[in-house]
Amino acid sequence: MKALHRAPLLALLALTSCGIPATGVVEAGGPASGVLPLTPVYFVENGRLVTTQRNTGRPGDPTDALRLLLNGPLAGEGGTDRLDGLTTELPALPTAMALPSPATDVPGSPLSDPSGAAGTSASDTPTVTVAGNAMTIRLPAGMAGLSDLGVRQLVCTATAAYRLTRPDTPSMTVVVTGGGHLVRTSDARCPAR
C-alpha cells in the first residue's frame, strides 16, 4: 500500500522538476489586430476588373489605396497565370503631381491634408471623405476623361480599402467628382476580392 501512496508524490515531483518555471502573464508586444498590411487594388484585365494585393502601412485608408492604384500595375503582379496582363484605365498623373503623403493623411474626415502641408495641395491629390455609408472621391484636374471602367477602379479600390477595418459596412454610395466628373454610383458592381 505504501507504493500506491508514493505514486502521486513521485508524479508531482516529476512534473515540478521538468524545468518549466511557474510564471505569470508575459507581455510580448501590442495586441493582435487581425488586419494584414495589405490592401486590395483593382486593375483591368481583358476588359474586366481584377484585384491584386498591395503592401500598405495603412490598411483601411482609402486615400492610401488610391495612391497605390495611381502607381499603376507592377511588373509580375498577379502571378504567372496572369502573364503580366494587368492594365489601368486611369491616366498617368503628371510627375509634378504629388501623391498623398502617409505622414499628412489622417483616417477619419478628409483623408488627405487639404492645407497643402508637406508639398501637397488639395488640387494635386485625390481625396476621400466618408460620412456614414456615403463616400466622396475628389479627383485632381489631371484626371479628366475617365472611362466607366476607370471610375469603377477608383470606387472599388477605395471602398474595399475602407472595408478592411470596417467589414460590417453595408453597400456604399460613392460620388466621384472633380477632373470634369460627377458620377454617383455604388460599390455593388465591384467584383469580390
* Helix H or strand E encompassing 69: helix 62-70
Query: Nearest Cα to 185, choosing from 156, 142, 143, 162?
Result: 156
Instruction: Please say whether the beta carbons of 61 and 105 come within 8 A.
Output: yes
Dihedrals phi, psi of 184, to nearest 5 degrees = -110, 125
pLDDT at 105 (0 to 100): 38
Q: Is residue 31 part of a domain?
A: no
Instruction: Please say whether the beta carbons of 142 and 94 come within 8 A.
Output: yes
Tens of pLDDT, residues 108-136: 333 433 333 333 344 567 899 999 999 99
Residue type, 193: R
If one counts the domains in the chain, the total is 1
The three cell numbers of residue 60 are 483601411
Residue type, 5: H
Q: 141 lies in which domain range?
A: 36-91+98-189
Q: Is residue 56 part of a domain?
A: yes
Q: What is the mean pLDDT of residues 69-87?
A: 72
Q: Is residue 116 part of a domain?
A: yes
The model's pTM: 0.67
